[in-house]
């Protein structure tokens, strides 16, 4: 392959070192890099039932999250009702004279109209620029309404996407009260963000719930996946915190451990057999339920022996190209898939993981490296271009050229890609678990379908519609 289409070729550790030195992070963030601090803070708070996120901004910021809801599940998701998203609708006059008075009126109106348990004010860029004191307004407003009122400075220029959810989880901790009792065998699932704006795969959580139930482990609260304010208040009654996703849960887990002394199970995403065992035992062992967990693992493993045998035969010796920017819900899932295919004998190559996301997810990346996850990476110039990444003709052409330089290749990503190899369309299981034992079954079925369909002609017209 020519060097003209390679911007970086090495492993995860080497890319991390370049990012830390500032050698691989472009000064201008690419248009397909992560969302702003306000958005990620909103996603966390939107996973709390009967919580009103009050957006202190012009209408654009609230319209963005409202549009996300409308494009999703509209009325509710997994039984989580659609919560209102009121906005102070700052205008030119408010920018000149300040919008604090309008914000206080909005809190009073939201409490009267929606009767929520919690109102959280989120400041956006405009409110931050003019210096509105949202925290003081929250303090004054809570004297006048029935709901608990809190505020988070979430203007986009005040931090990156990671600081948004971290600050939101810090805010949630303020609701947690000293435990009146300890609930033996109960845990909190932390780091999950699922409200009407679904940013995770809910079926993955169902698989975790199923396995925990098999072991006899109770879930006290899922923060923030449709949990109530009361469940958050009593979160310290659980024996253990377990991370749904290390990337999202580690900050809250570390904070609760440092401040409250709550144990925290550090595990990666349960993709594949080994990672699923690690996740389940990581929760069961601190609770003294190791034997029950081993029994469940043995029983569940026996159910999927045909799939395990198939994956071992099919993936052994193959090169697995994994593109996390398409349908993986982020690079951490892509790296988890790399660990899974390597377990079954394939050689994983991550294609176009953006250095900006390495920078923002550095604690998680370092944790994964400590656990031995260090796959080969290839980055092309297309990953640094402005535009809709997954629909760029440049990145499609780069992928096709690079894949041609390898033998026995299988591609994991989107069916919108056209490499000359079997294409495993992970988008087909966006409504089915990828986690756990059932995830292994689903991924095996997708690989089987991809291999059967390799010889079928693909629509060149459809490709032209996507890439021009």
Ordered structural domains, the chain, with CATH: 3-30+306-467 (3.40.50), 37-173 (3.40.50.1980), 183-303 (3.40.50.1980)
pLDDT in tens, the chain (468 residues): 556 889 999 999 999 999 999 888 766 655 555 678 888 898 888 889 899 999 999 987 876 666 555 445 444 544 445 567 889 999 999 999 999 999 999 999 999 999 999 999 999 999 999 999 999 999 999 999 999 999 999 998 888 778 888 899 999 999 999 999 999 999 999 987 766 555 667 788 899 999 999 999 999 999 988 899 999 999 999 999 998 877 778 888 999 999 999 999 988 889 999 999 999 999 999 999 999 999 999 999 999 999 999 999 999 999 999 998 766 667 888 999 999 999 999 999 999 988 888 888 888 899 899 999 999 999 999 888 877 777 788 889 999 999 999 999 999 998 889 999 999 988 777 678 999 999 999 999 999 999 999 888 888 898 888 888
| Other beta carbons less than 10 A from residue 204's beta carbon | 25
pLDDT of residue 328: 60
- Paired tokens of 217: 């482990």
Strand ranges (E), 79-124: 80-81, 118-123
Contacts of residue 304, defined as CB under 8 A and 6 or more positions apart, other chains included, come to 437, 440, 441
Please, are residues 225 and 192 in contact by the beta-carbon 8 Å criterion?
yes
Tally helices (H) and strands (E) across the chain: 21, 15
pLDDT of residue 74: 46
Pairing status of strand 347-351 against strand 264-265: unpaired
pLDDT of residue 329: 62
What 3-state DSSP class applies to 354? coil
pLDDT of residue 66: 63
pLDDT of residue 75: 47
Q: What is the rounded CA–CA span in Å between residue 393 and residue 367?
A: 34
Contacts of residue 2, defined as CB under 8 A and 6 or more positions apart, other chains included, come to 401
Please, are residues 241 and 262 in contact by the beta-carbon 8 Å criterion?
yes
- What is the CA angle 219-223-228, rounded to 5? 85
To which residue do tokens 């535009």 refer? 387
Pairing status of strand 51-56 against strand 118-123: parallel
- Paired tokens of 11: 């492993």
pLDDT of residue 179: 95
Please, are residues 332 and 204 in contact by the beta-carbon 8 Å criterion?
no
- Paired tokens of 164: 């948004």
Closest CA to 444 of 349, 352, 343: 343
Q: What is the rounded CA–CA span in Å between residue 195 and residue 50?
A: 11
pTM of the predicted protein model: 0.89
Q: Burial level of 397, CB count in 10 A (0-12/13-18/19+)?
A: middle
Assign residue 266 a region: left if phi > 0, alpha if psi is -120 to 50, beta otherwise?
beta
Burial 361-382 (b: 16+ CB within 10 A, else e): beebbebbeeeebbbbbbbbeb
- What is the CA angle 280-283-286, rounded to 5? 135
Give the DSSP H/E element, type plus range, for residue 446.
helix 436-453
Closest CA to 273 of 429, 437, 444, 434: 437
Rg of the chain's alpha carbons, rounded to an integer?
23
Q: What is the rounded CA–CA span in Å between residue 322 and residue 348?
A: 7
pLDDT of residue 4: 82
pLDDT of residue 361: 85
How does DSSP assign 279-347, residue by residue? HHHHHHGGGT-HHHHHHHHHHHHHHTHHHHHHHHHHHTT-EEEE-HHHHSSSHHHHHHHHHHHHHTT-E
Q: What is the rounded CA–CA span in Å between residue 351 and residue 332?
A: 13
């Amino acid at each position: 392959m020519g060097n003209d289409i390679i911007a970086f070729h090495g492993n995860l550790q080497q890319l991390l070192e370049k990012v830390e030195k500032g050698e691989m992070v472009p000064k201008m963030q690419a248009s397909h890099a992560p969302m702003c601090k306000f958005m990620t803070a909103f996603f966390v708070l939107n996973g709390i039932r009967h919580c009103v996120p009050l957006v202190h901004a012009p209408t654009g910021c609230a319209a963005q999250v409202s549009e996300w809801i409308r494009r999703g599940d509209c009325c509710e998701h997994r039984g989580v009702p659609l919560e209102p998203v009121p906005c102070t609708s700052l205008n030119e006059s408010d920018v000149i004279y300040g919008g604090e008075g309008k914000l206080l009126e909005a809190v009073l109106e939201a409490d009267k109209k929606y009767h929520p348990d919690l109102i959280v004010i989120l400041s956006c860029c405009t409110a931050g620029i003019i210096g509105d004191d949202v925290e003081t307004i929250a303090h004054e407003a809570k004297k006048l309404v029935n709901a608990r009122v809190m505020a988070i400075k979430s203007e986009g220029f005040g931090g990156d996407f990671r600081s948004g959810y971290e600050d939101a989880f810090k805010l949630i901790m303020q609701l947690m009260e000293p435990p009146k009792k300890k609930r033996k065998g109960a845990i909190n699932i932390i780091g999950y963000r699922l409200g009407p704006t679904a940013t995770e795969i809910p079926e993955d959580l169902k698989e975790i719930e199923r396995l925990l139930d098999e072991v006899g482990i109770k879930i006290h609260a899922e923060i923030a996946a449709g949990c109530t304010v009361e469940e958050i208040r009593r979160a310290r009654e659980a024996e253990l915190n377990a991370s749904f996703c290390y990337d999202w849960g580690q900050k809250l887990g570390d904070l609760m451990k440092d401040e409250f002394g709550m144990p925290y199970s550090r595990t990666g995403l349960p993709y594949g057999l080994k990672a699923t065992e690690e996740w389940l035992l990581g929760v069961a062992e601190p609770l003294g339920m190791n034997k029950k967990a081993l029994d469940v693992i043995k029983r569940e493993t026996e159910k999927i022996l045909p799939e395990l045998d198939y994956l071992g035969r099919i993936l052994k010796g193959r090169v697995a190209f994994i593109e996390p920017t398409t349908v993986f819900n982020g690079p951490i899932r892509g790296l988890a898939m790399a660990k899974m295919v390597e377990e079954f004998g394939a050689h994983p190559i991550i294609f176009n993981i953006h250095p900006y996301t390495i920078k923002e997810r550095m604690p998680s990346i370092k944790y994964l490296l400590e656990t031995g996850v260090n796959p080969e990476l290839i980055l092309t110039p297309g990953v640094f271009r402005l535009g809709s990444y997954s629909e760029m003709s440049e990145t499609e052409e780069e992928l096709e050229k690079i894949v041609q330089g390898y033998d026995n290749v299988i591609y994991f990503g989107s069916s919108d890609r056209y490499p000359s190899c079997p294409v495993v369309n992970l988008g087909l299981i966006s409504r089915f678990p990828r986690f756990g034992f059932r995830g292994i079954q689903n991924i095996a079925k997708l690989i089987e379908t991809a291999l059967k369909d390799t010889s079928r002609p693909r629509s060149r017209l459809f490709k032209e519609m996507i890439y021009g």
